[in-house]
Amino acid sequence: MEIAQSIERSIEDASLVAYLAQQQVPLELCPCSNICLGVYPSLAEHPLPRLYAAGVLLSVNSDDPPLFNTSLNANVATLYDPFGFSLGTIDEILLNGVRYSFMLPEQKQKMEADFRAEMKQLRQDLHL
């Protein structure tokens, strides 16, 4: 099992999940590729919602889009359906990708500000 697959399997060890949450170790998850690889038989069985509920810092990504015939948008869409997260929670998960990236602090601040402005405008435009 590769490291990326074992990250999702961390839910099977309660003490590890508690450690990840307490130490604020961010995990980057790619639900669509996990299904393609057979790590989980379906999104309904994916641990992302349980990891989030346990307080683990999460972000989502697309893994290898051409190989898995997916996209970042498809992985983000799983946060809403089937996982059922609110738009505010989805924003926070997406912002974690910025906050815990390898960018310089000033780049992170600018990107987070830009993201928040875009989301505010999008919500206004769509009456959300």
Q: Would 11 be classed as within a structural domain? A: yes
Q: Would 83 be classed as within a structural domain? A: yes
Per the structure, how many domains does the chain have? 1
Q: Would 114 be classed as within a structural domain? A: no
Q: Would 41 be classed as within a structural domain? A: yes
Q: Would 100 be classed as within a structural domain? A: no
Q: Would 98 be classed as within a structural domain? A: no
Q: Would 96 be classed as within a structural domain? A: no
**pLDDT tens per residue across span 21-42:** 999 999 999 999 989 989 899 9
CA distances from 20 to 5, 6, 90 (A): 16, 14, 20
**pLDDT tens per residue across span 90-125:** 999 999 999 999 999 999 999 999 999 999 999 999
CA distances from 109 to 95, 96, 99, 114, 121 (A): 11, 12, 8, 9, 18
Alpha helices in 30-104 (DSSP H): 31-36, 48-53, 65-68, 72-80, 87-99
Structure tokens at 27: 């995990």
Q: Would 102 be classed as within a structural domain? A: no
pTM of the model: 0.86
Name the residue range of residue 51's domain: 3-90
Number of neighbouring beta carbons within 10 Å of residue 56: 25
**pLDDT tens per residue across span 67-82:** 888 899 999 999 999 9
